[in-house]
Structures are given as C-alpha cells and as structure tokens.
Amino acid sequence: MVDVGGGLGHDLEYFKKKFPYVGSLVLQDLPHTLSSVSLSEGIEIMPYDFFTPQPVKGKTNILPGSFQKDLWQPLGAKVYFFHYIIHDWPDDKVLEILKNVVEAMTPGYSKLILNEFLIPPTDCDMFRASVDIHMMADFSSTERSEKQFQKLLEAAGLVVTKFWQPPSIGDGVIETMRRAAWKACCILFNIEQNLAMKRPIILNSGLYKNTD
C-alpha cells in the first residue's frame, strides 16, 4: 500500500499495527515533510510530489493478446491511499493529481482508496458545511458530494466501485479502480461464466468456442 501525501505516517503506523503481515507499505510526501519522520521497520519512506508521475507503478495492459504472459509483468501497488488530499484542491488540480496515480495503477489489480468527507446533497450538518466553507475560503476548494466525486473520478479515468458512508457524521471512504481494469474484470467474469456453461466466448468481435 502506498500512502500518497501521508504526512508523518500516522495512518500507515496504525495500519501496520492492525495488520502486521500485510506486505509492503510506502509513505510518500514532500522531502521537507519526511526529513524528520521516523517510522516502524517495514515502512518505506519515499519523497514524492503528487503533481509528478507516480514512481510506484506497474504494467498498464493486462488484456492484450497474451494474458498469461502479462500476469508476470511488474505490478503497481495493490492500494494507493489518499487521506484528505482531494478536498484541498479545486477540480482542475485534482484531475492532475488523479491522472498521475491512474497511470501507475495496474488494471485488474490496483485500487485507489480516498478517505474524504462526503457531503449530503441536502440537509447537510453544520460541521461538514462549515468545513466546506473553510476549504473554499482557504484553498479555493470544496468538500464534495457522492455525485461530485463520481463526475470527477470518471473524468480522471476511474470507476467508483463503492462509497462507504458512516452512519453518523464522519469520514467517508471511496473505493475506485482504473476504468480499463473495471472493463477487464467484466470481460474475465464473462469468460469464466461462459466457460462454466460451455457457451461460445466472443472477444474483440471474434468467436472463440470452448472445445473442452
């Protein structure tokens, strides 16, 4: 997991404590932020500006002619995590940030998880409304609703697989995949179902029959 713009690494420390054997963990932020950071063993510190191409990246095509061969290519991160990054920026800058991580994501493998406030379309509580005004005044930005996030993420080449909204006031979570990855998953599911039912498989306007 790569925590992009993760500050001093608090989220990764809590995550590692909860899941000590989860795999590689990478903290990314600007060099001056990371200069005094001291983290648990197993968390890599990587200076990074999220307005530049994401260095933790994998192969971007998993469904060309030879699928099995491409499975052995290097993978990007399983999860790229943004905690309160998007609400600091207006839409044009958000798209710049998102497109850098989308290009690094491995279709069918990587996910982008956003931890943000999700503003209701009507009857917003005072706390989230005040935060929204604060973001507008300080950063020319905004807190966003599910509909606003959906539009923004789709423009960056992502598909929202689920919104996780707490039952009361609190942080929301948005789970996304690269659009190509979502299509690939649908294609693979279709192949699997057709093979199981011994139906013909249609790919790229060609007909491939199950001969087993």
**Active site (catalytic) residues:** 87
CA separation for the pair 110, 127 (Å, rounded):
33
SS3 21: coil
In this structure, are residues 179 and 121 in contact, taking their beta carbons and an 8 Å threshold?
no
Range list of β-strands (E), 78-205: 79-83, 111-116, 158-164, 172-178, 201-203
Neighbouring residues of 117: CB distance < 8 A, sequence distance ≥ 6: 87, 128, 131, 143, 144, 171, 172
CA separation for the pair 154, 158 (Å, rounded):
5
The CB density around residue 136, as the number of other CB atoms within 10 Å, is 13
